Structure 1
Amino acid sequence: MSSTYRLAIVGTGGIAHLHADELRKHVPGRIELVAAVDPDTARLDAFKDKFGVARGYASIEELLANEELDLVDLCTPPVAHAPGAIAALEAGVGVVCEKPPALSLEEFDRIAAAAAASTADFAVISQHRFGSAAERVRNMTASGVLGRLAVAKCDTLWFRPEEYFAVEWRGRWETEGGGPTMGHGIHQIDTLLSLVGPWSEVVATAHRHRRRTNTEDVSHAIVTLESGASVVITNSLLSPREVSQIRLDFDTATVELDHLYGYGDDDWRIHPIASAADDVQRAWAGEPRGQASGHGAQFKRIADALDGRTTPPVPLEEARRTLELLAAIYASAFTGKRVRAGDIDPTSPFYQRMDGSGAPWPDLK
């Protein structure tokens, strides 16, 4: 039997408006938006008026002291994710957190420790995992109809002009955690790992070509998976024709996804080899179908998990695996060394900060 869960959104910027819209469209009566948090009173009041939110607060601490909640939805800049998550978990309130979940592995592990000590759960928004086509690819991989993966690519080719970085927290290691690898490519990289499984090692480069930021504006990585398959990843904020792409070359077919900020079934294509065409096409024509990726799709899964008293997706270990790969890309790019899964432990500077021992370009003041 479904229940109604009380949720508060923390932060009322653009992504919070998207979340509130998705909650209203996709889980009405299941997840109720009851409060919002923002220290900017004018922005908070505008958000409350737009979405009919009764109560607003200046801080998450004030929120937690005054509301009975099932979930807080963290839509703040990344620098506030870990403090907000830990505060909510210590209060016994579940957390849904936008990406990136933390600025570093050290912060993430503190969130994980708070979740382990709490009666509540922590889940990361990874909305592109939940489209029906991605689920179908995972099912086809598990069934063996695609054979083994050999080669893949994962590109986030976006464009952000200089004025995008006029927002104070953007383009700074201390507040955003990184550039397109951390804040933009994470969407596709996380989706990729949900399709192909764990990674084992990476060799990478990162560059600051054009934007006046302290973080990179482009990165490239060659990743070896535990399965032995190889993946090439590019993350860019300098690409005028914007596209997000995943290509998977299996033994019996190539699977391709081209989209930008979200996909439907029609954004995927499959190209089987002749000898396997009938089996591959039969599986591709099957279920599930009709669910676009997006926050609404994940909010439905979160409500289902709460109804079933199970951990909402995406679990901590999978979110950490994605964040560890991002840290390893930076570590390899800035040290010139191959980095293996597990190498970035608490003794590594890249455990504490994504720029670790320092980017190979001067900070801009």
Structure 2
Amino acid sequence: MSTPRPPFRVGIIGTGGIAHAHAEALQSLAPRVEIAGVVDLDRARADAFADRFDVDRVYLDAAELFANERLDLVHICTPPQTHTPLAIQAMRAGVPSLVEKPTALSLGEMDELAAVQEQTGVPVLTVFQHRFGAAARHLAALAGAGELGRPLVATCETLWHRPDEYFDVPWRGRWDVEGGGPTMGHGIHQFDLLFSIFGRWSEVSAFAARQLRPTDTEDVSMALVRFENDALATVANSLVSPHETSRLRFDFAHASVEVRHLYGYTSEDWTFTPAPGLEHLAARWAEGLDSGVVSGHRDQLRAIFDALGAGESPGVGLADARHTLEFAAATYASAFRGATIHAGELAGDDPFVRSMSGGIVPWAPVKQVLA
């Protein structure tokens, strides 16, 4: 009889709002996993978090955590401008990291992460949990096997509402510390799921605007996308839409598949419409669904620990995350330059490699200085 594997030991850096979703997901996977320690510059907040989630050890910086704990994974749940330095620190300490979106503030930072990952052999993963819900995994399997026919058309909408007060948090709505607006921080989950189903995008033509919110960044963006397989899609990201919805529709040659939700879906949120004469596909679709389980961090964490336990590479790795982040950069570059942007075009010394704003935001009061 094989010896049971000891629990995976994880750390959490940052104990703000999103860290609670991580901790709740981790607790739901107990006793397979345990939270070994947490880090926050705010000791009172860290103590309250540790009390709530029954964590014994609290640290004031990541170096203390890495020096004192043996970790299988560290969760980086801090503001976006800290993601890259903390992930590099984790790699240097030999600890794989799971980073909240966006993984980095720019393509240049993503390439820096990739260089350190190559040196250390330690992976950096990104939280893109919508890929891992039962319905999305089932859709990916059916599409990958060719059962739905060729991908043709998609619609991807993240239409949310955030009041002015939402941006009172100092790091929100700023290019230098958040990286961008809803394209970077909100819609990215939806279009990442789109890419995981339809494949790699090849070109984008986009608009972006600041319609209402007191931000440096956009509060709306819209893009027309072509894929390498010649499928077409529209992608809309908004923070000024009172009727909030998250919607993805995939039209294949043999079926249309749509999901409507807000921050997480269940299998009941999906609809499947077979093409005339292919009604038997509806039964195939129904085979891979669960019931009432909301997609979230737990799905991705379970997949990560399954992969780590089997000695396999977990998702979502840097290559996939960079492809998604490159789309955000291309959206901004297309909008601000008024030109179609092709995959791979943003490279080298291009300003949009260094910063998502490219230093040419049209509504900026003065010419921006790149970070």
TM category, shorter: over 0.9
SS in 1 for 2:22: helix
Which one of the candidate residues 325, 328, 334 is aligned to 2:327? 325
Separation in 2, partners of 1:49, 1:144: 49
Q: 1:282, CA displacement in angstroms?
A: 2.3
Correspondence 1:198 to 2:200:
yes
Pick closer, same or farther for the CA change 1:12–1:359 going to 2, 3 Å: same
When the two structures are aligned, how many residues end up with a matched partner? 363
How far apart are the structure 2 equivalents of 1:268 and 1:363? 44
* Number of the residue aligned with 1:73: 75
Q: What is the match of residue 179 of structure 1? A: 181
Q: Is the 8 A contact 2:110 2:318 kept in 1?
A: no
Matches within 5 A, 1:133-282: 133-278=135-280, 280-282=281-283
Kept in 1: contact 2:152–2:232 (CA 8 A)? yes
* 2:13 is the counterpart of 1:16: no
- Segments of structure 2 that go 5 or more residues without pairing to the other structure are none
Show the counterpart of 1:92.
94
Contact residue 3 and residue 307 of structure 1 kept, 8 A:
no
| Cα RMSD, aligned residues only | 1.4
Taking the aligned partners of 1:348 and 1:20, their CA distance within structure 2 comes to 39
Q: 1:74 to 1:363 in 2, by over 3 A?
A: farther
* C-alpha contact (below 8 Å) 1:75/1:98 kept by paired residues: yes
- Which SS does the other structure have where 1:275 is aligned? coil
Question: Corresponding residue for 1:336?
Answer: 338
- TM-score, length basis structure 1: 0.97
Deviation at residue 289 of structure 1 after TM alignment: 3.3
Partner of 2:125: 123
Deviations along 1:221-271, one digit per CA (max 9) or x if unpaired, are 000000101100000000111110001111121110100000111000011
Alignment match, 1:4? 7
Mapped partners of 2:267, 2:67: distance in 1: 44
CA distance in 1, matches of 2:86, 2:277: 54
Q: Does 1:286 align with 2:287?
A: yes
**Any conservation in 2 of the 1:44–1:56 contact (CA below 8 Å)?**
yes
Query: What letter corresponds to residue 16 of structure 1 in structure 2?
Result: A
Q: Give how far 1:62 is off.
A: 2.2
Letter in structure 1 aligned against 2:338 = G
Which SS does the other structure have where 1:245 is aligned? strand
Provide the C-alpha distance between the structure 1 equivalents of 2:50 and 2:286, rounded to a whole number of angstroms.
44
Distance 1:58 1:143 in 2: 48
Shift, 1:272, TM fit: 1.4
Q: Deviations over 1:175-212 (max 9, x none)?
A: 10000000000010111111110000000000000001
Report percent identity of matched pairs. Answer: 49
Range 210-219 or range 248-257, more displaced:
248-257
Gap change, CA 1:51 and 1:363, over 3 Å in 2: farther
CA deviation after TM superposition for structure 1 residue 136, in Å: 1.4
Return closer, same or farther for 1:363/1:58 CA change in 2, 3 Å cut-off.
farther
Aligned partners of 2:268, 2:322: CA distance in 1, in Å?
30
TM-superposed CA distance for 1:65, in Å, is 2.0
| Residue 41 of structure 1 pairs with residue 49 of structure 2 | no
For residue 118 of structure 2, what is the amino acid of its counterpart? Answer: A
What displacement does 1:66 show?
2.1
> Are the equivalent residues in 1 in contact too, given 2:267–2:289 (CA < 8 A)?
no
Q: What is the deviation of 1:115?
A: 1.4
Q: Which has the higher mean CA deviation after the structures are superposed, 294-303 or 131-140? A: 131-140
- State the distance in 2 between where 1:35 and 1:145 align: 45
Contact 1:220 1:233 in 2 (8 A): yes
Q: Deviations over 1:54-98 (max 9, x none)?
A: 111111122222222121100001011000000000110110111
Q: What does residue 349 of structure 2 align with?
A: 347
Give the aligned residue type for 1:357: G
Alpha-carbon shift at residue 288 of structure 1 (Å):
5.1
Q: Mean alpha-carbon deviation: is it higher for 143-152 or for 76-85?
A: 143-152
- Shift of residue 41 of structure 1? 1.2
